[in-house]
Chains A and B, each alone.
Chain A
Amino acid sequence: MTRATRRWRGAGYVLPLVVFLTALFLVPLVQLLRLSFNPVDAYNAALPGFTLSHYGRVLTEPYFYGALLHTLLTAVLVAVLCVLLAYPAAYLLAGRRPGTLRTVLFVIVISPLLTSVVVRTYGWVVLLSGNGVVNRVLVGSGLIDQPAQLLTSYPAVVVSVTHVLLPFAIIPLTTALGGLDHNLHRASQTLGAGPVRTFLRVTVPLSLPGVVTGALIVFALAMGIYITPLLVGGVTEPLAGIRVYDQVTTVFDYPVAAALSFALLVITLLSTTLLGGAFRIWERRLYG
């Protein structure tokens, strides 16, 4: 088989995926981009023509740009929290030899992904509501007199979103930590480094690809999330995803929703590229 034949055969393998993504992802994305430039009538119906006014609104009205900024900060916070919480769990999982216990632990970690995000989120609603478990414990133990306002608060949104996205950080971290060569740990300790120093100077740097991958996935997911914050924080939570949802479902202004979606997409792309680029620079410095 010639090299060219092999190449064509390789292309044939990915053709269904390319056709699928082009038809169901790229074409709608281009249509959405086109929609974001269409002017609207008094009732927000898209009209033929070209305008930059929707992007102007997104970038100048605090209702929209404030939501983009708030979303960015929230996504960064959630990504950091997810990595911090995922690391010990992934370390424990990666350190176990393959067997029943490791399988059980892994299933526990990924089990949230097996249920609907709405069901998982309603779990938080039940826990944090006025007569929910958390408030009952706080009132019952005498720590507070009246049930606290836990739902519709920003901390509740951050906690619930972190919970929903945590498996996306644990999985790549477990893979990265599981692939480490244990001879390097032994070498480090043989050369006089203690467990803490070995962890900080050997384990952490070598697991950094997993950390960055996990953080990127969680960050990207958190940038577009809206169901969980909508149910826990309410529609007043100023996240871009909720603003897009609002524009589509109640204001019926699809061009503004499209413009806001693209602004969100550009910010997400820039942020992930920057983080990926920074990691690449760090990697070059380390390995030359």
Chain B
Amino acid sequence: MKGIRLAAAGTVAALALAACGVDTGGTGGQSSSDARELTVTAFAGPWGELFKKSFVEPFERDTGTKVNLVYGANAEWLTKLRASGGKNPPFDVIAFTPDASRPAVAAGLLAPLDSAKLTHYKQLDPVLLSKSSYEGKQYGVPLTTGSLGLLYRTDKIKKAPSDWRDIFSKEYCGHVALPPLTYNPGLEFFSALVAQDGGKMSDPAAVDRAFKELEKLKGCVSSFPANAGNVSTAIENGDAWIIPFWDGRAFAMEQAGTPAGFVYPKSGPVGALTSYFVTSGSQNSELATKFLDYLTAAQNQKPFAQGTWYAAGNDSISYDKAFEDRIEHGPQVFEKFNWVDYTVATPKLNEWQQRWNQIFG
């Protein structure tokens, strides 16, 4: 009998534990029927705090609206939005990077924008706007864009790298950090490798060439960071000397005292955009559009961009010298960026990650 009891206890424990494996997400905060309340998402951490100060506080002060900020990240918001099915969504205004906005638009979870209602629409960067435009309709407005380049330890690497291929240098073997393709900088770096000789992600031969390039890093990678915290830890602890990463995070790390440098690769950095959208079925769509108006205003975007070290979506901003000296921005710059083609990458991601794992797993 003891055996039966043990097995039963083990079974119950196993059931309970296995059930904890997937978090499908709850419904989160519901949008209020009171039109003076708005639910807005923001990425957690200092980014979110600065977002509150730069956009939410002025909006609340001027309109008397109460903004409920929901901190988190793409995945959980998309889960909750999918659960709502476009009816009575848990958020009115949502932040997405293109990897999440494309599936959300395809599922009808984001509402097209009426650009005539946005005072600053014409000041927004056309290249960045085009990244949240699908099937000829504008869905989102750009907040900021990061640029993926090479972050490196200045005390370990004396001669700064200049282009993507430098990461393959034998000098750095054993000290390279490589994000997997399932973490945005990993896919963005892969996209840069695909584009090196004019290749496109939709071309299987170009993808094969990029994997061949990646193979050169086999045995040279010291860590595979899968989030920004892991990247900071790897660089600060000295586990890694060089990694493809975003300019804003790199400069913030440098400001915090880490001996870190950043270069925009000669052959072109990769864009990493955050846009804001109004959700389909929002009960507060008018107010949500008004919030986007605040979000795109130059005077609000400027302190946010300078605080996060990411270029803002509004091209009319006159940045301070320290920012201007370091951050590349503007339509000509964004035009030359390499942008990940998520219409190709999203359906292929599992397959590519498997190939990636065969090299590094």
Contact partners of B13 in chain A: CB under 8 A:
216-217, 220-221, 272
Q: Is B198's beta carbon under 8 Å from chain A?
A: no
Q: Is B102's beta carbon under 8 Å from chain A?
A: yes
Contact partners of A279 in chain B: CB under 8 A:
3, 6-7
B354 & A62 in contact (Cβ 8 Å cutoff)? yes
> Which residue of A has the minimal Cβ distance to B356?
A236
Q: Is A241's beta carbon under 8 Å from chain B?
A: yes
A280 & B7 in contact (Cβ 8 Å cutoff)? yes
Q: Is B120's beta carbon under 8 Å from chain A?
A: no
Other-chain contact of B6, A43, A152, A212, A281 (Cβ < 8 Å): A212
Chain A nearest CB from B350 CB (Å) reads: 6
Other-chain contact of A32, B22, B74, B226 (Cβ < 8 Å): B22
Contact partners of B349 in chain A: CB under 8 A:
250-251
Bound form: Cα–Cα A235–B225 in Å? 7
Contact partners of B21 in chain A: CB under 8 A:
224, 226, 241, 244, 261, 264-265
Chain B nearest CB from A286 CB (Å) reads: 11
Contact partners of A275 in chain B: CB under 8 A:
7, 10
Bound form: Cα–Cα A234–B221 in Å? 12
> Which residue of A has the minimal Cβ distance to B100?
A252
B357 & A151 in contact (Cβ 8 Å cutoff)? no
Q: Given that A241-B21, A264-B21 are contacting pairs, would A234 and B223 also be in contact in the complex, using a CB cutoff of 8 Å?
A: yes
Other-chain contact of B354, A63, A152, A264, A281 (Cβ < 8 Å): A63
Interface residues of B in 171-190 (CB under 8 A from A): 174, 180, 182-183
B3 & A235 in contact (Cβ 8 Å cutoff)? no
B354 & A258 in contact (Cβ 8 Å cutoff)? no
Q: How large is the interface on B (under 10, 10 to 19, 20 to 34, 35 or more residues)?
A: 35 or more
B226 & A234 in contact (Cβ 8 Å cutoff)? yes
Q: Given that A130-B239, A238-B357, A283-B2 are contacting pairs, would A265 and B182 also be in contact in the complex, using a CB cutoff of 8 Å?
A: no
A130 & B224 in contact (Cβ 8 Å cutoff)? no
Q: Mark B317-358, 1 if CB is under 8 A from A, else 0.
A: 000000000000000000000000000001101100110010
Count, chain A residues at interface, CB 8 A:
72
Q: Given that A223-B18, A264-B18 are contacting pairs, would A236 and B24 also be in contact in the complex, using a CB cutoff of 8 Å?
A: no
Contact partners of B174 in chain A: CB under 8 A:
146, 149
Chain A nearest CB from B210 CB (Å) reads: 18
A45 & B3 in contact (Cβ 8 Å cutoff)? no
Contact partners of B226 in chain A: CB under 8 A:
230, 234-235
Bound form: Cα–Cα A234–B240 in Å? 14
Chain B nearest CB from A132 CB (Å) reads: 7
Chain B CB within 10 Å, residue with most, of A31, A32, A61, A276 = A276
Q: Mark A208-220, 1 if CB is under 8 A from B, else 0.
A: 0100110011011
Contact partners of A212 in chain B: CB under 8 A:
3, 6
> Which residue of A has the minimal Cβ distance to B241?
A130
Chain B nearest CB from A268 CB (Å) reads: 4
Contact partners of B116 in chain A: CB under 8 A:
none
Q: Is B256's beta carbon under 8 Å from chain A?
A: no
Other-chain contact of A236, B75, B79, B103, B361 (Cβ < 8 Å): B361
Interface residues of B in 97-138 (CB under 8 A from A): 99-100, 102-103, 106-107
Chain A nearest CB from B328 CB (Å) reads: 27
Other-chain contact of A152, B75, B224, B353, B357 (Cβ < 8 Å): B224
Chain A nearest CB from B86 CB (Å) reads: 11
Give the A-B pair count, Cβ closer than 8 A.
192
Bound form: Cα–Cα A248–B80 in Å? 12
Chain B nearest CB from A95 CB (Å) reads: 23
> Which residue of B has the minimal Cβ distance to A147?
B238
Contact partners of B354 in chain A: CB under 8 A:
61-63
Chain A nearest CB from B209 CB (Å) reads: 22
Q: Is A140's beta carbon under 8 Å from chain B?
A: no
B103 & A252 in contact (Cβ 8 Å cutoff)? yes
> Which residue of A has the minimal Cβ distance to B16?
A25
B183 & A235 in contact (Cβ 8 Å cutoff)? yes
Contact partners of A269 in chain B: CB under 8 A:
11, 14-15
B75 & A252 in contact (Cβ 8 Å cutoff)? yes
Bound form: Cα–Cα A260–B6 in Å? 26
Q: Is A131's beta carbon under 8 Å from chain B?
A: yes
B102 & A209 in contact (Cβ 8 Å cutoff)? no
Bound form: Cα–Cα A45–B233 in Å? 34
Q: Given that A125-B233, A248-B23 are contacting pairs, would A220 and B353 also be in contact in the complex, using a CB cutoff of 8 Å?
A: no
Bound form: Cα–Cα A5–B40 in Å? 54
A45 & B357 in contact (Cβ 8 Å cutoff)? no
A220 & B17 in contact (Cβ 8 Å cutoff)? yes
Chain A CB within 10 Å, residue with most, of B16, B21, B222 = B21
Bound form: Cα–Cα A35–B24 in Å? 10
> Which residue of B has the minimal Cβ distance to A47?
B107
Q: Mark B41-76, 1 if CB is under 8 A from A, else 0.
A: 000000000000000000000000000000001110
Q: Is B200's beta carbon under 8 Å from chain A?
A: no
Q: Mark B216-250, 1 if CB is under 8 A from A, else 0.
A: 00000011111000100100011110000000000
A-B contact pairs, 9 of them (CB 8 A): A25-B15, A63-B350, A63-B353, A212-B3, A213-B6, A220-B18, A230-B226, A269-B11, A276-B4
Interface residues of B (CB under 8 A from A): 2-4, 6-11, 13-24, 73-75, 78-79, 82, 99-100, 102-103, 106-107, 174, 180, 182-183, 222-226, 230, 233, 237-240, 346-347, 349-350, 353-354, 357, 360-361
Beyond A45-B107, A220-B13, A249-B74, 9 extra complex contacts between A and B, CB < 8 Å: A43-B107, A130-B237, A131-B238, A212-B6, A244-B22, A248-B79, A250-B349, A265-B15, A273-B11
Interface residues of A (CB under 8 A from B): 25, 28-29, 31-32, 35, 41-46, 61-63, 125, 129-132, 146-147, 149, 151-152, 209, 212-213, 216-217, 219-221, 223-224, 226, 230-231, 234-236, 238, 241, 244, 246-254, 256-258, 261, 264-265, 268-269, 272-273, 275-277, 279-284
* 5 closest residue pairs by CB, A with B: A276-B7, A280-B3, A43-B103, A216-B10, A235-B226
